[in-house]
Structure 1
């Protein structure tokens, strides 16, 4: 099962909101996955066990995992396309 990490500045409001929305949408799509919301300070520690990163705030370095646009799930703009990318990644 693949693990997704969602990170924002504090790891509380925004990342939790995006993680909850992505979780609901992926479950509706029948995907199997784990998802965790974290703060940017602990991203480097958590990303070691993750298969992909849903970015709300752009990371300052490349962690070697696929990165998806989390802002799309906040605004709704481009959400369908990002969701399709995540589903394709999870089903790969």
Structure 2
């Protein structure tokens, strides 16, 4: 199963909320992936085993996997576009 990570500062509140919502949305669309919340300090160690990174914070560096705007899942603004982008990434991942 393909993994997507979500990170916020502590990996507890906001990232858990987004991970839960995205897991539900992917399940409704029958997309085979799991979304896990992690703390910002441990993001790097999940890069090799994940197909995408949903970020709640502003990203200032390059990552080896695609980065998705997590704020869209909190506010609903642009959520459909970010979800479609995520589904496309998951479907194209090996």
Fold shared per TM-score above 0.5: yes
Number of positions where the alignment pairs a residue of Structure 1 with one of Structure 2 = 92
Please say if residues 47 and 64 of structure 2, whose CA atoms lie closer than 8 Å, have aligned partners that are also in contact: no
**Aligned partners of 1:15 and 1:27: how far apart in 2?**
18
Aligned partner of 1:13 in structure 2 is: 13
Please say if residues 15 and 38 of structure 2, whose CA atoms lie closer than 8 Å, have aligned partners that are also in contact: yes
Aligned partner of 1:30 in structure 2 is: 30
SS at match of 1:5: strand
Q: Any runs of at least 4 consecutive aligned residues in structure 1 with deviations exceeding 4 A, and if so which?
A: none
TM-score under structure 2 normalisation?
A: 0.91
**Aligned partners of 2:2 and 2:75: how far apart in 1?**
25
Gaps of 5+ in 2: none
Per mean C-alpha deviation after superposition, the further-off stretch among 26-35 and 57-66 is 57-66
**Aligned partners of 1:4 and 1:82: how far apart in 2?**
13
SS at match of 1:48: helix
TM-score under structure 1 normalisation?
A: 0.93
Instruction: Note the C-alpha offset of 1:48.
Output: 2.7
**Aligned partners of 1:46 and 1:90: how far apart in 2?**
16
Gaps of 5+ in 1: none
